[in-house]
Amino acid sequence: MGTSSKLRQFRTNPIEILIFCAVTALFVKSLYGLVYDPQTLAPITVTPVAANPLSEGRAPASTSQTFINVDLKCDKNQDQETTAAKVRLTGSLCGFNSATDPSKLLKTTITNTANKFSATVFTDTNGGKYSTDYIPLNSGKNPIRLEFSYRDKRIVTQDLMITKN
């Protein structure tokens, strides 16, 4: 007796075969382009424009300072003119004798009366000096008032005019 074995036949859809062929063709083209890309195999050259730019001789029309430091003296101060946006003041403590008693200084206040900015003042009573943070300046005249307050109720004031152009 013969047994007949039934073989299963798989049928494929023609659309599936077309999609498989298209994907395979894209893969082969991408692989070929990755390995044999003519642009990556060509030697890289420097173009004349990149080697000699037109802006070699150019410079900014004007440069302005952003910050300026001013060292003040107690006896006389000249008015200052600047284009800077901020100023830092340094100098000696006026009306102060560090040899007698460095603890007599109570407070130092420095104010730009044009914009009402009160500066942070760093005092060195042993050295008899002070320094401020950067004080913003308005355009035009900036009257700056320095006040040194002492324990014996004495207040030494100093005025400075900084003009921002």
Q: What is the mean pLDDT of residues 149-165?
A: 90
Binned at pLDDT 50, 70 and 90, residue 84 comes out as very high
The number of beta carbons lying within 10 Å of the beta carbon of residue 135 is 21
Residue type, 23: V
Q: For residues 49 and 148, which has the higher predicted lDDT (pLDDT)?
A: 148
pLDDT for the residue numbered 31: 87
pLDDT for the residue numbered 65: 77
Least confident span in 6-15, 21-30, 109-118, 153-162: 6-15
Per-residue pLDDT tens digits for 38-50: 666 666 665 555 5
pLDDT for the residue numbered 20: 95
pLDDT for the residue numbered 96: 77
pLDDT for the residue numbered 115: 94
pLDDT for the residue numbered 11: 79
The number of beta carbons lying within 10 Å of the beta carbon of residue 123 is 17
Q: What average pLDDT does the chain have?
A: 83
The number of beta carbons lying within 10 Å of the beta carbon of residue 104 is 16
CA-to-CA separations, 122 to 8, 125, 130, 153, 159, in angstroms, rounded: 96, 10, 6, 21, 19
Strand 155-164 and strand 80-82: the pairing is parallel
